[in-house]
Amino acid sequence: MKTELYTKAQIDEAAKQIQLGELVSFPTETVYGLGADATNDTAVQKVYQAKGRPSDNPLIVHVADVATVEKYAEPLSDAAKKLIKQFWPGPLTLIFNLKPDALSTHVTGGLTTAAFRMPNNQATLDLIKTAGIPLVGPSANTSGKPSPTLAEHVYHDLNGKIAGILDDGATQLGVESTVLDMSTEVPTVLRPGAVSIEQLEAIIGNVVSNKHHVGLKEVPKAPGMKYKHYAPNAQVYIVDQPSEFPEALKWAGQQPFLVGLMVTDELAANLTLPANVELYSLGTDVNSASHLLFAALRHFDENPQVKAILTEAFKPEGIGAAYMNRLDKSAGQRHFGDDR
């Protein structure tokens, strides 16, 4: 099919495609999502087909109001209401127990829970309201690849596979939302994001923060917990300390292929790069690095001569926890020096 590029003035056209059961990518403050009618089982199945996504990987339901969540979920706790008041619309996804048979198993991954989010992007909120239905919205990329932060990234991966892309420019944050499971006795962070552990605990008290992976036979309750994610074709290596970069670049210079380098400007200024190393700036600090991470990985993915990528690490605190979570998965947990 032909993939249309919609502007914000064409939201009615994009919403019509959603109502017809087609797929339309939408912008959020985190990354671009792949939208489909969450109540249309056939449309939801198209999402898995377009992305090449495993069928047991649940989808986040995007809403424009709390009433929609209450339609499908069990009654919300006081803690959940406090979080919604503080962080919605915004980069926080909440997992709730569902009313019986409320949503398709293709949305939930066969679980009795579902994840909900209200994105902080007016174009997408308008799209949801105009369509009149909640939208599933996994990242709009080929499954396992770096998430899209520009409409161009979506077009690169899904052109001809989806009806359209609602273009609202670059996303603001660049990493996906924090996922907090509210169906457990103690709220549990299943995926770190822009809303930090400290911010959550300031609102509702203690949360569990170390459950980011599941085993091969377990069904994940949130995206990104089981399968390799965010990975370019080249092998990514995490360089844990700035002092390790001279040795890492020495190794890079000995390779018979191009090596990508992703570091902040301050670190780059103190490095001598071999001729076969290409630099991609991560900006000034962990905030800009988080914003640019997926764009940088995609940049190197476009050059088949790049066979390895060396990437700067940050302390896993605040937004750094989200950055390191995504980087760790893109690298398959490989750090420079692990096999040397």
Taking only the tens place, the pLDDT of each residue in 33-80 is 999 999 999 999 999 999 987 766 789 999 999 999 999 999 999 999
Q: Is 113 annotated as a binding residue?
A: yes
Q: Is 326 annotated as a binding residue?
A: no
* Number of other residues whose CB lies within 10 A of the CB of residue 104: 18
| Per-residue model confidence (pLDDT) at position 159 | 97
pLDDT band at 339 (very low <50, low <70, confident <90, very high): low
pLDDT digits (tens, 9 = 90+) for 132-180: 999 999 999 998 889 999 999 999 999 999 999 999 999 999 999 999 9
Q: Which of 134, 115, 123 is nearest to 32 (CA)?
A: 123
Which pLDDT tens digit goes with each residue over 147-157? 999 999 999 99
Helix axes 78-87, 197-204, angle to 10 degrees: 130
C-alpha to C-alpha distance for 282 and 296, rounded to whole angstroms: 8
- Whether residue 276 contacts residue 253, with contact meaning beta carbons closer than 8 Å, is answered with yes
| Same topology between domain 4-204 and domain 235-330 | no
Provide, rounded to the nearest whole percent, the portion of the chain with pLDDT above 90: 88
Reduce the DSSP state of residue 225 to 3 states and report it: coil
| 272 marked as binding residue | no
Does residue 229 have a known ligand-binding role? no
Binding site annotation covers 299?
no
Q: Find out whether 334 is annotated in a ligand binding site.
A: no
pLDDT grade, residue 222 (50/70/90)?
Answer: low
Instruction: Give the three-state DSSP class for 16.
Output: helix
Domain positions in the chain: 4-204, 235-330
Ranges 89-103, 107-121, 222-236: which has the least confidence: 222-236
Q: What are 116's strand-pairing partners?
A: 61, 94
**Fold adopted by 4-204:** DHBP synthase (3.90.870)
Is residue 215 very low, low, confident or very high in pLDDT (cuts 50, 70, 90)?
low
The bridge status of strand 178-181 relative to strand 258-263 is: unpaired
Q: Is 57 annotated as a binding residue?
A: yes
Q: How far apart are CA 114 and CA 38, in angstroms?
A: 11
Quote the DSSP letter at residue 75.
P
Residue 213 has pLDDT above 90, yes or no: no
- Assess contact for 64 and 148: CB atoms under 8 A: no
Of 293, 277, 296, which is closest to residue 325 (Cα–Cα)? 293
DSSP E strands, the chain: 4-6, 24-26, 33-37, 60-62, 92-97, 113-117, 135-136, 164-166, 178-181, 188-191, 235-239, 258-263, 277-281, 306-312
Predicted confidence band at 230 (pLDDT cuts at 50, 70, 90)?
confident
Asked if pLDDT for residue 98 goes beyond 70, the answer is yes
296 neighbors 236 (Cβ within 8 angstroms): no
Is 30 labelled as part of a ligand binding site?
yes
Q: Which fold has domain 235-330?
A: Rossmann fold (3.40.50)
Quote the Cα angle for 214-320-177, to 5°: 60
48 is in an annotated binding site: no
Residue 213 labelled as part of a binding site = no
DSSP character at residue 165: E
Cβ atoms of residues 55 and 65 within 8 Å: no
Q: According to the annotation, is 62 in a ligand binding site?
A: yes
Distance set, CA 263 to CA 172, 243, 266 (Å): 20, 13, 8
Task: Provide the pLDDT for residue 57.
Answer: 79
Q: Is the dihedral of CA 77, 78, 83, 89 positive or negative?
A: positive
Q: Is the pLDDT of residue 86 over 60?
A: yes
List pLDDT tens digits, range 297-335. 999 999 999 999 999 999 999 999 999 999 999 999 999
Helix (H) or strand (E) holding 68: helix 66-72
pLDDT confidence of residue 227? 53
